[in-house]
């Protein structure tokens, strides 16, 4: 433990870091184990955030840690584009097998989620020879310029950073709770094809099967299926951005499986490597092979530490049935959050818990979906960490609490964390 307090570290951080890279909680972590973390002052936290959906197999998972330690003894970097190694090949083979659908697949590795997204667009453009990309309102695809251009939320991501890359168009994402039906979305897409860009000029449509940062809104199956049909009709590449929804998080290995569709390209990051920076694009082999040799990659692409960690993560997910466990976690959360909603019907507008361990509550005023309560959301996140629980918020209106626990969390810890959530609601809401 350090003898510097959280507060002192925060002061030093505020001086040393540009304000653009802020932190949600003034808590500096000393160590972490499975679904718990301890700060530099020895305070313990239950972690319902997993570093934004990354440590799905738990912090310092013993199998992942052992695999990385063993790799580290041998070598840490050679560059997969110079002298590759077996773990990268094995991982690509596994990802090709795990991706939904029967079409033969190929993989490339990069380092961050945003890079995976950017590479999807490059691959789709190379394959189709077309320029346009369609994304959705409320979508989040990363902080690099192209990914930000695709992102459908202004504050804080896009303010001050334009102009954005051209040829990106946004369509409404269906959210029944906010009065946007699947039909509305598809009609708007049709209109976009008439007003902004001909479908024959569109290289790709990119969609999150559950919008993450945008508010944890699951795409209805019929919407994903309709997008598949539109893409088939017009020769458009369908990209499923599964950076947050992939790797068992939603109760399927990839969330696209709910709609029983085969995306053309899938992004993989976050949960893939248990906290080591690794991302990938997995897709239909013919499409993946469109760019010329050397056109894709990066110095740290497919780091051996990340690849070894990912192979261990896949073993842990399979060995501990974590995909099924995600569904169980969703129902435990769902049950308790619905009980809470019945106590606070004017405050908890909607509970979303039907996509495994990607769970959310949307907070409103007067039970009205059109009156988001961002202040209460912020207050809840703050009170929760003061009481020893790490919660994350999200949502285009800033009024959604998202729950992203490790898939290895015990029922006891879930319930202990939810007791804190309940106590925070009681303290912050006047009945
Ligand atoms: C769906 C989705 N796409 C892309 C990204 C960007 O990933 P990264 O922050 O690793 O660049 C995120 C990150 O939250 C995400 O949730």
Task: Give the mean pLDDT of 165-173.
Answer: 97
Helix, strand, coil shares, percent, the chain, to 5: 40, 20, 40
Cα dihedral: 284, 287, 292, 297 (round 10)? -50
Q: CA 112, CA 146: separation in Å to the nearest integer?
A: 14
> 2 pLDDT band (50/70/90 cuts)?
low
Q: Does the pLDDT value for residue 382 go beyond 60?
A: yes
Q: pLDDT band for 192, please (50, 70, 90 cuts).
A: very high
C-alpha–C-alpha distance, residues 209 and 136, integer Å: 11
The residue nearest atom 7 of ligand 1, judged by CA position, is 113
Closest ligand 1 atom, CA of 211?
1
Element (H, E) at 58: none
Distance (angstroms) between ligand 1 centre and the Cα of 171 equals 19
Q: Decide if 143 contacts 114 (C-beta within 8 A).
A: yes
Q: Among 154-158, 215-219, 309-313, 345-349, which stretch is predicted with the lowest mean pLDDT?
A: 154-158
189 φψ region: left (φ > 0), alpha (ψ -120 to 50), beta (else): alpha
| Distance in Å, CA 117 to ligand 1 centroid | 8
Q: What is the model's pLDDT at position 63?
A: 98
Q: Are the CB atoms for 244 and 270 separated by under 8 Å? A: yes
Q: How buried is residue 18: exposed, middle or buried, by Cβ count under 10 Å (0-12/13-18/19+)?
A: exposed
What does pLDDT average to over the chain? 97
Ligand 1: nearest atom to the Cα of 144? 11
**Ligand 1 pocket test, candidate residues 212, 300, 402, most atoms within 8 A of CB:** 212
Ligand 1 pocket test target in 114, 147, 392 with most atoms within 8 Å of CB: 114
Environment class of 371 (CB within 10 Å of its CB; exposed 0-12, middle 13-18, buried 19+):
middle
Ligand 1, residues at Cβ distance < 6 Å:
52, 112-114, 117, 140-142, 208, 212-213, 241, 243-244, 269
In this prediction, residue 378 carries a pLDDT of 98
142 alpha carbon to ligand 1 midpoint, in Å? 5
| 147 pLDDT more than 70 | yes
Q: Is the pLDDT of residue 62 over 80?
A: yes
Ligand 1 centroid to 116 CA: how many Å?
A: 9
Give me the percent of the chain exceeding a pLDDT of 90.
Answer: 97
The residue-averaged pLDDT of 343-350 equals 97
Residue 126 has pLDDT above 90, yes or no: yes
The region, left, alpha or beta by phi > 0 then psi within -120 to 50, assigned to residue 247 is left
From ligand 1's centre to the CA of 51, what distance in Å?
Answer: 12
φ and ψ at 238, to 5 degrees?
-95, 115
pLDDT of residue 430: 72
Å from CA of 293 to ligand 1 middle: 26
| pLDDT of amino acid 110 | 98
* Reported confidence tier of residue 423, pLDDT bands at 50, 70, 90: very high
Pairing of strands 44-47, 105-110: unpaired
pLDDT at 15: 98
C-alpha 317 – ligand 1 centre gap (Å):
21
300 pLDDT more than 60: yes
């Amino acid at each position: 433990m350090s003898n510097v307090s959280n507060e002192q570290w925060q002061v030093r951080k505020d001086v040393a870091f540009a304000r653009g890279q802020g932190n949600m909680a003034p808590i500096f972590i000393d160590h972490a184990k499975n679904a718990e973390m301890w700060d530099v002052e020895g305070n313990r936290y239950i972690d319902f955030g997993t570093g934004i959906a990354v440590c799905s197999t738990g912090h310092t998972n013993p199998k992942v840690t052992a695999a990385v330690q063993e790799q580290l003894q041998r070598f840490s970097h050679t560059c997969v584009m110079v002298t590759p190694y077996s773990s990268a090949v094995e991982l690509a083979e596994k990802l090709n097998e795990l991706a939904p659908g029967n079409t033969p697949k190929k993989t490339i590795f990069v380092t961050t989620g945003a890079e995976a997204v950017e590479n999807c667009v490059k691959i789709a453009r190379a394959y189709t020879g077309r320029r346009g990309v369609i994304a959705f309102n409320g979508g989040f695809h990363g902080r690099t310029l192209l990914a930000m251009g695709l992102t459908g939320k202004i504050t804080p991501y896009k303010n001050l950073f334009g102009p954005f890359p051209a040829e990106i168009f946004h369509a409404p994402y269906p959210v029944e709770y906010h009065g946007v039906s699947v039909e509305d979305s598809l009609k708007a897409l049709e209109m976009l094809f008439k007003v902004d860009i001909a479908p024959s000029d569109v290289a790709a449509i990119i969609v999150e099967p559950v919008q993450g940062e945008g508010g944890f809104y699951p795409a209805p199956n019929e919407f994903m299926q309709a997008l598949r049909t539109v893409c088939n009709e017009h020769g458009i590449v369908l990209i499923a951005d599964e950076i947050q929804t992939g790797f068992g998080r939603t109760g399927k290995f990839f969330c696209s499986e709910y709609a029983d569709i085969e995306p053309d390209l899938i992004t993989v990051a976050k949960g893939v490597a248990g906290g080591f920076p690794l991302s990938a694009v997995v897709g239909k082999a013919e499409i993946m092979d469109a760019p010329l040799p050397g056109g894709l990659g990066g110095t740290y692409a497919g780091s051996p530490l990340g690849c070894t960690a990912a192979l261990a993560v896949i073993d842990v997910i399979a060995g501990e049935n974590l995909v099924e466990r995600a569904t169980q976690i969703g129902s435990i959360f769902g049950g308790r959050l619905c009980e809470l909603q019945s106590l606070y019907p004017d405050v908890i507008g909607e509970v979303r818990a039907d996509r495994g361990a990607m769970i959310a509550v949307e907070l409103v005023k007067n039970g009205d979906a059109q009156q988001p309560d961002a202040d209460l959301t912020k207050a809840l996140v703050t009170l929760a960490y003061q009481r020893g629980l790490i919660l994350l918020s999200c949502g285009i209106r800033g009024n959604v609490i998202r729950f992203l626990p490790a898939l290895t969390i015990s029922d006891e810890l879930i319930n202990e964390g939810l007791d804190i959530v309940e106590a925070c609601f009681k303290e912050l809401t006047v009945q």
